[in-house]
Every structure is written in structure tokens, then in C-alpha cells.
């Protein structure tokens, strides 16, 4: 996050605040839309129709397939993302001015996105997507633990990293655009002496969510195709999207994802600022950890 150069955020605050802010609802309908359609069963574009159709034919429990994996992944992802960004941005600061230019902001965000993809996002997204896909087709997986065991038995440890390229590109781009846009807006407001209130934090986070979604949606679609129940290579995923819908197919699920990222982006950064404001004084007062240098 963007703070005054004289006031760095301790790593423990970044981890706790980011993790607390990160647990938001899953994107079941978006994932269903991005997966390959079953023969003779086209997927509706309206997310409410997707949810209603699954509920009527498969029951309430089907709507929560992969939910636990996503919750764990979301908390871990945002905890790691905020932690790594607050750490990495220190090395990206201009050595003379101690500030972050827009380009350095994006670079720091991109690096933290790669870290999050490797340590949290790819395996949890793979499990979530495989569970959602399997529930509508073969129904091999009985639970999240069973899905993990089956994937490991079938494809080995690397099976959990299907879609690594697409996920990493998405996370690097998403974190760069999200964190970069948010910090650019905050820096602009600071120079114009605009008060940092809950409303401005929410608005900045929402704008960052819009920019992030539009810029990274193709990577998200490729990732979903790669992480289906049987899996696919990045090349196969790209070919299948073009074969099914043409180039515009790479933006499948944009509206559904926007509905989530606009609000989650606002809530994410508002909650982070709120949690950091509470935790920073407590951490420094108790001396749990020294400030970052």
C-alpha cells in the first residue's frame, strides 16, 4: 500500500490486514461460463440464470463446490500479496527521493502477484475450478480432500499447478494494475490534499477493480480452461476459446467478474486501511516487530 515514506508498515500488519480483507465470496457463475459448454447444454450469459439453473437441477450444495478452496486461497492470496507488496515496494523506491513512480508501483505489484500465484493462488484455483467442472460432468470428486488426492494420484504434484502460466500472468497483471492504480490514485489525492476517508478508499479500490478486470480477463479465461477437471495446456486452452467464441471469448465472464471486483476492490482496500490503522499502533506499542527498513 502507499504510505508516507517515513511510515512503513510492519510485515505482520500487512499479513494480518491483507488476510482479513481477502475472504470474499466465490465466483461460481463466472467459472461455469468460462468452462467449455456441454454438448446441447449452452451456458446462459446471465449469472442469475446460471445460479438458478444449477440450483434447480443439481441442488444447493452444487453452488458451493470449490468454496472452501477459494476461501482458503483468497485469504492466503491477499495476505501474501499485501505482505510481499509492502516488502517488495521498499526495493523499488527511488533511491534519491524514496518515492514510488507509477512505473515502479506497477513493477512492485507485478512481482508480488507472481509470489502470490506460486505460493497460494494456482493450487487453490486449480482445486476450485476442477471441483466446479467435475460437478457438472463426471462427478469423480466427492469432496475437496478427495479432489486433491485424485489429482495427486493422477498427475502428481504438478497436477495442482495446471494453469500456472495463465494464473501467474493474471495475478501479476491483476496485482500490478490493482495495487498500482490504487496507489497512483492515492498519491494524486495526496498531492491535491484530498482527505483519505472511507469513501475515497472505497472509490479508489473500485476503480482499481475495474481497471484490473478489463486488463486481465483474457488470462482469467485461459486459467479457467487450463484448470478444468481433466486439465489442459495453455495452448490448448487458447485454441479452445477461439474455436468456441472467437477472440471475444477471452473476455467471457467479464460482467460477472466486474460485479465482484468493483465491490470487493472497494471493500478490500477500505478494510485494509481500516485494519492497518488499528493494527499499526498496537504492533508498535507492544513491540511485537520492528518497523520495516
Is 292 a member of any domain? Answer: no
For residues 127 and 266, the model is more confident at: 127
pLDDT classification of 64: cutoffs 50, 70, 90: low
Q: Considering only 85-99, 124-138, 157-171, 176-190, which range has the smallest mean pLDDT?
A: 85-99
Return the SS3 of 170: helix
Average pLDDT, stretch 96-101? 77
- pLDDT, position 37: 72
In angstroms, the Cα distances linking 205 to 100, 193, 270 are: 19, 18, 7
Is 4 a member of any domain? Answer: no
Q: Which of 15-24, 170-179, 201-210: highest mean pLDDT? A: 201-210
Q: Is the pLDDT of residue 290 over 50?
A: no
Is 44 a member of any domain? Answer: yes
Q: How far apart (Å, rounded) are the C-alpha atoms in residues 124 and 120? A: 6
CB-count exposure of residue 138 (10 Å: 0-12, 13-18, 19+): exposed
pLDDT classification of 235: cutoffs 50, 70, 90: very high
Q: How far apart (Å, rounded) are the C-alpha atoms in residues 75 and 31? A: 19
pLDDT classification of 221: cutoffs 50, 70, 90: very high
CA atoms within 13 A on the CB side of 94: 9
CB-count exposure of residue 267 (10 Å: 0-12, 13-18, 19+): middle
Average pLDDT, stretch 21-50? 63
Locus of grid cell 504510505: 3
Q: How far apart (Å, rounded) are the C-alpha atoms in residues 206 and 36? A: 30
Locus of grid cell 492497518: 276
- pLDDT, position 2: 46
Is 2 a member of any domain? Answer: no
The range of the structural domain enclosing residue 76 comes to 11-286
Please tell me what DSSP assigns to residue 285.
Answer: H
Q: How far apart (Å, rounded) are the C-alpha atoms in residues 233 and 218? A: 15
Average pLDDT, stretch 51-79? 70
pLDDT classification of 190: cutoffs 50, 70, 90: confident
- pLDDT, position 123: 92
For residues 154 and 65, the model is more confident at: 154
Is 244 a member of any domain? Answer: yes
Mean pLDDT of the chain: 77
Q: How far apart are the first and last CA of the chain?
A: 15
Residue 191 corresponds to which cell in the numbers above? 498531492
**Residues 223, 166: contact at Cβ < 8 Å?**
yes
Question: What region, left, alpha or beta, does residue 231 occupy, with left being phi > 0 and alpha being psi -120 to 50 degrees?
Answer: left
**What total number of domains does the chain contain?**
1
- pLDDT, position 293: 35
Is 1 a member of any domain? Answer: no
Q: Is the pLDDT of residue 9 over 70?
A: no
Can you give the CATH number for the domain in which 158 is found? Answer: 1.50.40.10
Alpha-carbon dihedral sign for residues 196, 197, 202, 203: negative
- pLDDT, position 152: 94
Q: How far apart (Å, rounded) are the C-alpha atoms in residues 150 and 144? A: 10
Is 135 a member of any domain? Answer: yes
pTM: 0.62
In angstroms, the Cα distances linking 281 to 5, 9, 49, 290 are: 17, 10, 47, 12
Own/partner pairs, 268-271, CB within 8 angstroms, 24+ separation: 268/21, 268/22, 268/24, 268/78, 268/205, 269/1, 269/21, 269/182, 269/201, 269/202, 269/204, 269/205, 269/208, 270/198, 270/201, 270/202, 270/205, 271/17, 271/20, 271/21
Residue 102 corresponds to which cell in the numbers above? 507509477
Helices (H) and strands (E) in the chain, counts: 11, 0
Is 5 a member of any domain? Answer: no
Residue 98 corresponds to which cell in the numbers above? 524514496
Q: Which of 74-78, 160-164, 226-230: highest mean pLDDT? A: 160-164
For residues 267 and 131, the model is more confident at: 131
For residues 179 and 207, the model is more confident at: 207
- pLDDT, position 262: 75
Q: Give strand pairing partners of 41.
A: 38
Residue 84 corresponds to which cell in the numbers above? 510481499
pLDDT classification of 219: cutoffs 50, 70, 90: very high
Average pLDDT, stretch 229-254? 90
pLDDT > 70 fraction of the chain, expressed in percent and rounded: 76
pLDDT > 90 fraction of the chain, expressed in percent and rounded: 15
Amino acid at each position: 500500500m502507499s504510505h508516507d515514506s517515513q511510515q512503513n508498515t510492519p510485515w505482520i500488519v500487512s499479513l494480518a490486514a491483507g488476510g482479513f480483507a481477502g475472504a470474499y465470496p466465490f465466483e461460481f457463475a463466472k467459472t461455469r461460463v468460462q468452462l467449455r459448454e456441454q454438448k446441447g447444454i449452452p451456458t446462459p450469459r446471465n449469472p442469475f440464470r446460471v445460479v438458478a439453473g444449477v440450483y434447480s437441477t443439481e441442488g444447493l450444495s452444487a453452488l458451493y463446490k470449490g468454496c472452501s478452496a477459494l476461501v482458503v486461497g483468497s485469504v492466503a492470496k491477499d495476505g501474501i500479496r499485501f505482505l510481499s507488496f509492502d516488502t517488495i515496494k521498499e526495493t523499488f523506491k527511488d533511491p534519491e527521493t524514496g518515492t514510488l513512480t507509477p512505473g515502479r508501483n506497477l513493477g512492485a505489484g507485478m512481482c508480488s502477484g507472481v509470489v502470490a500465484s506460486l505460493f497460494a493462488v494456482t493450487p487453490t484455483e486449480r482445486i476450485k475450478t476442477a471441483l466446479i467442472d467435475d460437478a457438472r460432468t463426471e462427478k469423480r470428486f466427492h469432496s475437496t480432500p478427495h479432489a486433491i488426492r485424485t489429482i495427486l494420484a493422477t498427475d502428481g504434484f504438478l497436477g495442482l499447478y495446471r494453469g500456472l502460466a495463465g494464473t501467474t500472468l493474471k495475478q501479476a497483471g491483476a496485482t500490478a494494475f490493482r495495487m498500482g492504480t490504487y496507489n497512483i490514485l492515492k498519491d494524486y489525492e495526496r498531492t491535491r490534499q484530498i482527505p483519505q476517508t472511507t469513501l475515497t478508499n472505497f472509490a479508489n479500490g473500485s476503480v482499481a477493480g475495474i481497471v484490473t478486470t478489463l486488463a486481465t480477463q483474457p488470462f482469467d479465461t485461459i486459467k479457467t480452461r487450463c484448470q478444468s477437471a481433466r486439465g489442459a495446456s495453455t495452448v490448448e486452452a487458447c485454441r479452445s476459446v477461439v474455436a468456441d467464441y472467437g477472440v471475444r471469448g477471452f473476455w467471457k465472464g467479464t460482467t460477472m467478474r466486474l460485479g465482484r471486483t468493483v465491490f470487493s476492490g472497494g471493500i478490500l482496500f477500505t478494510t485494509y486501511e481500516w485494519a492497518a490503522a488499528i493494527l499499526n499502533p498496537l504492533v508498535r506499542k507492544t513491540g511485537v516487530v520492528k518497523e520495516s527498513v
